[in-house]
Amino acid sequence: MSSAEERFKRISNTLAHEHEQVSQGKMMSSDGIRYRDKFFAFFYQDEMVFKLGRETEPSEIGVKEYSLLSPFKTRPPMKDWFQIPYSEADHWDALARHALQRMKSQVDG
């Protein structure tokens, strides 16, 4: 298991332990984290991917390297999902918590 995957697992386990409605599952064949069956983060190509929303600008929260998730060759990038490399792993926990809070507000109203 890579260092990136270990960090993802640690974040995933912590959030699942802290929040009753958070669980782990598969998103696009990758390990993911969900709130009430709605995914807000997952591990993809040794990076973490977060559903932060179109209005989010990761650079405003200190993230220097990121890209929009673009898993399909014939479709445009997914504008709500940000792919954050391991070089920015110090931000992963905060981003996961931000994505969780965003998902909670969407699901719970």
Strands 38-44, 22-27: parallel, antiparallel or unpaired by DSSP? unpaired
Are 71 and 28 contacting, i.e. CB atoms less than 8 angstroms apart?
yes
pLDDT of residue 51: 97
* Residue that has been written with the tokens 């898993």 in this structure: 71
| Residues contacting residue 91 through CB under 8 Å, at least 6 positions apart | 61, 62, 63, 84
- pTM for the predicted model, two decimal places: 0.92
pLDDT of residue 6: 97
For the chain, the average pLDDT equals: 94
Q: Which CATH number applies to 3-108: 2.10.110, 3.30.1460, 3.40.50, 1.10.10?
A: 3.30.1460
Are 48 and 8 contacting, i.e. CB atoms less than 8 angstroms apart?
yes
Q: Spell out the domain ranges in the chain.
A: 3-108
pLDDT of residue 84: 98
pLDDT of residue 73: 85
**43: phi then psi, degrees, rounded to nearest 5:** -100, 125
User: Looking at residue 71, what DSSP letter applies?
Assistant: -
Q: How far is CA 2 from CA 5, 16, 41, 56, 65, in A?
A: 5, 21, 18, 28, 20
* pLDDT tens over the chain, length 109 residues: 899 999 999 999 999 999 999 999 998 889 999 999 999 999 999 999 999 999 998 888 899 999 999 888 899 889 999 999 999 999 999 999 999 999 999 999 7
